Amino acid sequence: MARLGLGFVFVNVMLEQLGVPVPAVPTLVLAGAMTGEGRLSFPVLMVAGIGACLLGDSAWYFAGQRYGGRVMSLLCRVSLTPDACVSQAQHTFSRWGSSALVFAKFIPGLSMVAPPLAGAMRMRLPRFLALSTLSAALWVGAALTAGLLLRPQIEKLLPQAASLGGSAVLVVLLLLGAYVAWKWLERRRLRVILAVERIGVDELARQLQSDDAPLVVDVRTALARSLDARVIPGAVHVPAQEIQAHASRLPREREVVLYCSCPNEVSAAHAARWLLEHGYRRARPLQGGLDAWAGAGHPLETATAAAPADLRHRNPVYRAPATVKRSRNEQFP
């Protein structure tokens, strides 16, 4: 830090904002401590940190604007916490709107997904830059201030860390490796927990044409549906976060098929498991979700805002690809 100073801080922050696993908060805290000694300038560090954040955020914003949900799906697939990735970010945006960008950097998972999500939502660039600048100023300022306040403690620790030399680097790498391994085990555990029976897209297509057709439920967030308005014909909309609140209006005697557009059908599997644990006869997530349904060439419709009064006796409507009509795309109230 003493040798590289401002340039090191700038590069570290920018790489973290681009998604490289190189934590920038420890660097900012240490830089904040050095401002108390006069070795670095607090205002200059603020400008450098904010600028680095804006470069990284803007890159993701334009990627989201151009590629939409595909960018967020990619981020979720490589995330160490896929169950708390895109769907939770979309839910947060749905609840707080664009102001979610202001505190996004303080929430793991949301910080990485928020910029491309803002681009996919077609947020105006000036508004995005204003909110992103405010968020960066709060985040960088908080870390630098923490370092300034903790300067006496940091000054005591630095000589001990310096005496360790390469051993300190090895310890950091081991801790980082342990963290990644723990998260990987969490992902494996999640797969075991969500190992409920799936239904394939071709099987669902056949069942929808039978007299005992299942009820198809779209568990994506409202924001996800606005970014990708495709729906399976006859599907009703119950966001995964609201399954428990509206479960009484779902039929217990019929099979329920749930789908989403998240990796490994995480949201749909969570919802299906909850239904099975609360007395529903059969609930299955759709293998591969909406993308698999579309990829198999099955018909799609465009979501509407119509809301049925009750779903227990509602039969989905399915049409063969050659006769698809926009008949009953219903959104759950």
Is residue 84 predicted with pLDDT exceeding 60? Answer: no
Find where tokens 């799936």 sit: 198
Q: For residue 328, what are the CA distances in angstroms to 44, 149, 331?
A: 58, 60, 9
pLDDT at position 184, please? 67
Is residue 269 predicted with pLDDT exceeding 80? Answer: yes
Say whether pTM exceeds 0.75: no
Lowest-confidence segment of 108-112, 250-254, 318-322 by average pLDDT? 318-322
Beta strands 330-331 and 230-231, pairing class? unpaired
CA distance 15 to 10: 9
Cβ-proximal residues to 79 (8 Å cutoff; 6+ apart), any chain: 85, 109, 112
Instruction: Identify which has the larger pLDDT, 243 or 155.
Output: 243
Cβ-proximal residues to 120 (8 Å cutoff; 6+ apart), any chain: 64, 65, 68, 69, 71, 72, 227
First to last CA, the chain: 55
**210: buried, middle or exposed (CB in 10 Å: 19+, 13-18, 0-12)?**
exposed
**Average pLDDT of the segment spanning 117-142:** 92
Lowest-confidence segment of 22-31, 92-101, 317-326 by average pLDDT? 317-326
Which segments of the chain belong to CATH 3.40.250.10? 201-331
Is residue 303 predicted with pLDDT exceeding 60? Answer: yes
Q: What are phi and psi of 303, to 5 degrees?
A: -60, 145
- 222 pLDDT tier (thresholds 50, 70, 90): confident
Domain 201-331 -> CATH class? alpha beta
Question: What is the tens place of the pLDDT at every residue in 15-73?
Answer: 989 888 788 898 999 898 888 777 888 999 999 999 999 999 999 999 988 887 677 66
SS (H, E, C) 143-185: HHHHHHHCHHHHHHHHHHHHHHCHHHHHHHHHHHHHHHHHHHH
Q: What are phi and psi of 208, to 5 degrees?
A: -70, -20
Cβ-proximal residues to 112 (8 Å cutoff; 6+ apart), any chain: 19, 60, 75, 79
- 330 pLDDT tier (thresholds 50, 70, 90): very low
Lowest-confidence segment of 57-66, 94-103, 168-177, 203-212 by average pLDDT? 168-177
- 175 pLDDT tier (thresholds 50, 70, 90): confident
pLDDT at position 114, please? 84
pLDDT at position 72, please? 67
Cβ-proximal residues to 281 (8 Å cutoff; 6+ apart), any chain: 252, 253, 254, 255
Lowest-confidence segment of 48-57, 82-91, 143-152 by average pLDDT? 82-91
Lowest-confidence segment of 105-114, 164-173, 226-235, 286-295 by average pLDDT? 164-173
Whole-angstrom Cα Rg for the chain: 24
